[in-house]
Structure 1
Amino acid sequence: MAAHSVFNLAPATSLLRSNPSQRPCQPSSVPILHSSFLSSETLSICSSNSNPSWQLTRRRPLSATVTLSLPTANPDRAVSVSPDKIPKWSRRTIKSFAMAELEARKLKYPTTGTESLLMGLLIEGTSSAAKFLLANGITLFKVREESIKLLGKGDMYFFSPEHPPLTEDAQRALDWAFDEKLKSGEGGEITTSHLLLGVWSQAESPGHKILSALGFNDDKAKELGSMIQEPGYHG
């Protein structure tokens, strides 16, 4: 597992709802990740559930907390770069990451792996990477199915942590995406396409194996990489 000690953990405010069916969703107590060189902000994305039995037991819905920085194994990688050249994670990439954590929890996995990052991209659904995957026949259902084939089903009695820690492969995928954007020297945003290519860069990871099984290959990766280089590209 990749270390997360480089981040300060700050508890978010926790509010219990007295009437889940009528009041807006509130975030549960979650740690907010703070990078040493990227700003942070939180959004709350909560899933709704109108099942009567859920209302009777007053179980809180799964929620995802989004920050403007994503975990990095080496926060000092950009200290020599001028502030205006430090790339920032795009909002779609951040939301995809939050959805990846949420999907790992739904599947009752103890960690957020590269397979979860793929599912997060597809759940977000509006990004260039998601559209590229869908155009090549790679859907959320197929990725989820392949994930279960490869990793098995989670224990139904297991409760995933609020933020399932990243696997080493997933951390390297994030770092690859950041470093690739940093190498360009252009600043700007790290897009969902960078994240997708980061997953593909980890050849032995579940995400890479799932993509390969579903028809993604080096030619597709090069095609996506060329798209990123086009002027005005938004991921």
Structure 2
Amino acid sequence: MAATHYHCTSTLVSRSNPSFRLIHNLKLVNSNNSWLGTKIRVQPCILSVRPPVSVIHRRPVAATVSSSLPTSNSERVSPGQETPKWSSKAIKSISMAALEARKVKFTTTGTEALIMGVLIEGTNLANKFLRANGVTLFKVRDEIVNVLGEADMFTVCPERPPMTEDAQKALDWAVDKKLKSVDGGEITTAHIILGIWSEVDSPGHKILSNLGFNDEKAKELESSISKAVANDE
């Protein structure tokens, strides 16, 4: 009877460092021809170390977005005054806006996409205010089609759709508005919505207006900005 060879592979995951798996390839050789009993000889194992497929080095989204966020003109900053920072929820909203722009096949990230980003983030102050006043994500999407029309589904979108001029101005407005305030803190999603509202010719302003947002509600939203810290923004 010819000798029989068995191959066995086992995978061990390190408890101290689960990012790596130890893969042992054991070659088992049957060196006895008798069917009454076998003698197993284990050849030296081959040890290989490799990271699991799920471990992929990705650049954090927040870091990517924050590097392109607008900052106020340095000439406007008073001596000893620090340039205001963006809240984590505001940064995430802007990131989601770019993703949403790609989803609907827009080649740029406009004020309409910024509104969607704020609503998609879901836990921020501006989102709660808009929803309480009847401005929902589904309604905004419908209004985008009414104002801008449907995008060509065959359009090839860039990985990070650049900001439109009015979207950039809206974010610049948010930075400057916070810079002029004396309450400190960070730039929030409420500043983003107010910045969009300040761009009266932008699609975002038209969409908000069509959904019942007006100057009175803008003032109400602005007065609630001080509550942003209490709401963990």
**TM-score, length-scaled by structure 2:** 0.70
Q: Which runs of 5+ in 2 are unaligned?
A: 1-51
Letter in 1 for 2:222: G
Which residue does the alignment assign to 2:85?
Answer: 88
Spell out the pairing of 1:40-189 with structure 2 (5 A cutoff).
43-44=60-61, 66-72=64-70, 76-77=74-75, 80-82=78-80, 85-189=82-186
Cα distance 1:214–1:169, how it changes in 2: closer, same or farther (>3 A)? same
Cα distance 1:69–1:90, how it changes in 2: closer, same or farther (>3 A)? farther
Which residue does the alignment assign to 2:28?
Answer: none
Contact persistence 1:87–1:178 (CA under 8 A): yes
Give, in whole Å, the separation in 2 of the partners of 1:231 and 1:167: 27
Give, in whole Å, the separation in 1 of the partners of 2:105 and 2:55: 22
Which residue does the alignment assign to 1:228?
Answer: 225
Q: Which runs of 5+ in 1 are unaligned?
A: 1-21, 29-41, 46-64
Deviation at 1:157, TM superposition (A): 1.3
Give, in whole Å, the separation in 1 of the partners of 2:160 and 2:53: 25
Cα distance 1:181–1:162, how it changes in 2: closer, same or farther (>3 A)? same
Give, in whole Å, the separation in 1 of the partners of 2:160 and 2:54: 22
Deviation at 1:155, TM superposition (A): 1.3
Contact persistence 1:200–1:208 (CA under 8 A): yes
Which one of 180, 192, 196 corresponds to residue 195 of structure 1?
192
Deviation at 1:221, TM superposition (A): 0.4
Which residue does the alignment assign to 1:49?
Answer: none
Deviation at 1:69, TM superposition (A): 4.4
Contact persistence 1:43–1:66 (CA under 8 A): yes
Moved over 4 A (4+): 25-28, 77-81, 230-234
Cα distance 1:176–1:124, how it changes in 2: closer, same or farther (>3 A)? same
Deviation at 1:79, TM superposition (A): 5.2
**Larger-Rg structure:** 2
Per-residue displacement from partner, 1:97-123 (whole Å, max 9, x unpaired)?
A: 000000100111111000000000000
Cα distance 1:91–1:135, how it changes in 2: closer, same or farther (>3 A)? same
Cα distance 1:69–1:220, how it changes in 2: closer, same or farther (>3 A)? farther
Contact persistence 2:65–2:94 (CA under 8 A): no
Deviation at 1:192, TM superposition (A): 0.5
Which residue does the alignment assign to 1:17?
Answer: none
Deviation at 1:184, TM superposition (A): 1.1
**C-alpha root-mean-square deviation of aligned residues, in Å?**
2.5
Say whether 1:216 aligns with 2:213: yes
Give, in whole Å, the separation in 2 of the partners of 1:231 and 1:98: 20
> % of aligned pairs identical?
55
Which residue does the alignment assign to 1:19?
Answer: none
Per-residue displacement from partner, 1:159-216 (whole Å, max 9, x unpaired)?
A: 1111111111100100000000000144420000011100111111100000000011
